[in-house]
Structure 1
């Protein structure tokens, strides 16, 4: 079938809106009409040729839409279902890992390769040229996408499409890192570095968990203001206040928990150094592949722990419905971070994400 899509053509060039051919769903695949797709920094790294995804490619790793057709063997969703599209968990790895466990040994390959496991792509240009069309098992910067049953979450009817799309990626990553990786108790202190979509999702989750104090660190005043409205009890702009000292002054010995959503090595060090003895830092952002952080070993000897939290560390089939229920109860009011754009304005959405004008740009497909 013919679809309209935003294509990353050559490294560093703007997205181009093209008409492409999308194949029929194969075994285990689901054809979804995309209604909304989130724009994230990972999508821009595809555009700029920084990931292993080959170009040309259609990015898009967080979206929402309605199922139109299903391939053989699909039993969990049916035509007409509303679904959130999210990451592919991959193989379950060692032991009895639960379904949706995000730490399978092939998780990077299946999400970033841009192709199916057999090396094929569901997307082609009209002249037959292949286009990488399975980014995060979806490539959802398009009017339709093929996903797999395992990276779809069936949801109820009431939530708006842009909200559903936002929950498929960055917001899930931040909230999941708090709920599923750090698991703070009421009264535990937490410092969240970066107040983009992931960091703000983490602030909302920390408030749900009863954390106090909740410290948000970012260089953009508008995002710190959002963090305060979401429940942060203190905000820190590193340009005006040194974060580690400020967090220690507020908490005494340091924070019980910290979360880095930036992937910047210098910020990761701050997130570890602000911890109290026995504290835990979660790393939720993907920096450059060769990025390294220098950590003080003496500080780690005092029981401090650093943990990875890939894609939030939770099974989306469990986390996304929970977040939607919290939103219904007005306990997870994520809507203010969303700014919508038509698909044709994908380049403006990307510019607004980089400049900070938009926290979570969402493309609307009509």
Structure 2
């Protein structure tokens, strides 16, 4: 057993509480103990707090962790003590989805990422009175000074890059960038619209620019975010409080419609506007958490070969894609550091509040060292 410090969520819709808890560090053969340096705050953490997605309480969230390997289980060969790593969502590595290069659609994705315990039913996280604490959120629960992870969801990263900024590559940033580069795969000169330019949407914009899209349209209701979108690669912006998106695109910005659309909002009205902005045979990818039970779209948008699809985690293979994003960042083609603001672990509730208010785009919570 070792004592660690963690931000624990004790009940739905409550603030995080900083607690010293016990972690059983007797590793399973495939497990790795990681000292967390910093963890990004993602909208999904807030969605869990508000119970839009299931997870146990008390529980440790955090799923954009970056850290240093402390020790490894007996069967681990990918990394060794001292390596710098980014943590990605858990996957089994054995099912047909994993083996075909789609670990985001792993057959065991939900129990492994939201179950809160090991596959064998054991729980290594406990309070001092012995109460079990749900862990392994997205295979990591990295709002803590140390995290237990499996070899499948650890990505070794170069040591010449600032480690504390890299965690968001494991979820939000790979979701936005991967949706463009791995799923939509635009050709140079094609057009795309991205709705909701928070961290995921801005990652999509940067990826679209890197892919050579010559018409990149950003949609949001906040002018300051739209200004940043232009700085990062958007060629045009639309404030959807002031203009009707589909009309603005079809009548002025891209007559006949755009090739691709990405929605990060999960909202019916926004998705319908994006579908109405597509050209014939265009594709709209939805990555946002859907707040309503039903997604309702106008049937006319499915004429002429248009497609609507939902994408998880950018449909990426993290071991391949995260290093690619780091290389793009080194070359100045994926400047995600412009989104970041740091908070200390004791200030995690301020990070949540600032993120919800739009004051901070991508909060990264640093662990006490």
TM-score (norm 2): 0.96
The corresponding residue for 2:267 is 264
Once the 2 structures are TM-superposed, how far is the Cα of residue 297 of structure 1 from its aligned partner?
Answer: 2.0
Check whether the contact 1:67–1:80 (CA below 8 A) recurs between aligned residues.
yes
Check whether the contact 1:175–1:202 (CA below 8 A) recurs between aligned residues.
yes
Once the 2 structures are TM-superposed, how far is the Cα of residue 209 of structure 1 from its aligned partner?
Answer: 0.5
Q: 1:311 to 1:212 in 2, by over 3 A?
A: same
Paired residue secondary structure (1:266): helix
Q: For 1:37 and 1:214, how far apart are their aligned partners in 2?
A: 30
Paired residue secondary structure (1:88): coil
Q: For 1:273 and 1:63, how far apart are their aligned partners in 2?
A: 37
Give a deviation string over 1:98-135, Cα, whole Å, max 9, x none: 35531122212211222222222221111110000110
Alignment of 1:153-168 (within 5 A): 153-168=155-170
Q: Give me the CA root mean square deviation.
A: 1.4
The corresponding residue for 1:328 is 330
The corresponding residue for 2:103 is 101
Check whether the contact 2:98–2:106 (CA below 8 A) recurs between aligned residues.
no
Alignment of 1:229-248 (within 5 A): 229-248=231-250
Paired residue secondary structure (2:218): strand
The corresponding residue for 2:257 is 254
Deviating runs (4+, > 6 A) in structure 1?
A: none
* 272-281 vs 45-54, which moves further: 45-54
Check whether the contact 1:282–1:308 (CA below 8 A) recurs between aligned residues.
yes
Q: 1:245 to 1:283 in 2, by over 3 A?
A: same
Q: For 1:92 and 1:283, how far apart are their aligned partners in 2?
A: 27
Q: 1:269 to 1:134 in 2, by over 3 A?
A: same
The corresponding residue for 2:177 is 175
The corresponding residue for 2:46 is 44
Q: For 1:45 and 1:308, how far apart are their aligned partners in 2?
A: 18
The corresponding residue for 2:30 is 28
Once the 2 structures are TM-superposed, how far is the Cα of residue 92 of structure 1 from its aligned partner?
Answer: 5.3
Q: 1:115 to 1:265 in 2, by over 3 A?
A: farther
Match of 2:287 among 275, 284, 288: 284
Paired residue secondary structure (1:102): helix
* Structure 2: gaps (5+ residues): none
Q: For 1:161 and 1:218, how far apart are their aligned partners in 2?
A: 30
Check whether the contact 2:21–2:125 (CA below 8 A) recurs between aligned residues.
yes
Paired residue secondary structure (1:302): helix
* Structure 1: gaps (5+ residues): none
Aligned residues: 365
Once the 2 structures are TM-superposed, how far is the Cα of residue 49 of structure 1 from its aligned partner?
Answer: 3.0
Paired residue secondary structure (2:53): coil
Once the 2 structures are TM-superposed, how far is the Cα of residue 276 of structure 1 from its aligned partner?
Answer: 0.6
Give a deviation string over 1:76-95, Cα, whole Å, max 9, x none: 01000000001113455447
* 93-102 vs 14-23, which moves further: 93-102
The corresponding residue for 1:226 is 228
The corresponding residue for 2:15 is 14
Check whether the contact 2:257–2:279 (CA below 8 A) recurs between aligned residues.
yes
Q: For 1:206 and 1:95, how far apart are their aligned partners in 2?
A: 26
Q: For 1:345 and 1:286, how far apart are their aligned partners in 2?
A: 26
Once the 2 structures are TM-superposed, how far is the Cα of residue 51 of structure 1 from its aligned partner?
Answer: 2.1
* 28-37 vs 89-98, which moves further: 89-98
* 213-222 vs 169-178, which moves further: 213-222
Q: For 1:170 and 1:225, how far apart are their aligned partners in 2?
A: 20
Check whether the contact 2:97–2:103 (CA below 8 A) recurs between aligned residues.
no
Q: For 1:89 and 1:308, how far apart are their aligned partners in 2?
A: 19
Check whether the contact 1:89–1:100 (CA below 8 A) recurs between aligned residues.
no
Check whether the contact 2:93–2:152 (CA below 8 A) recurs between aligned residues.
no
Q: 1:284 to 1:96 in 2, by over 3 A?
A: closer
Once the 2 structures are TM-superposed, how far is the Cα of residue 294 of structure 1 from its aligned partner?
Answer: 1.5
Paired residue secondary structure (1:226): helix
TM-score (norm 1): 0.96
Paired residue secondary structure (1:43): helix
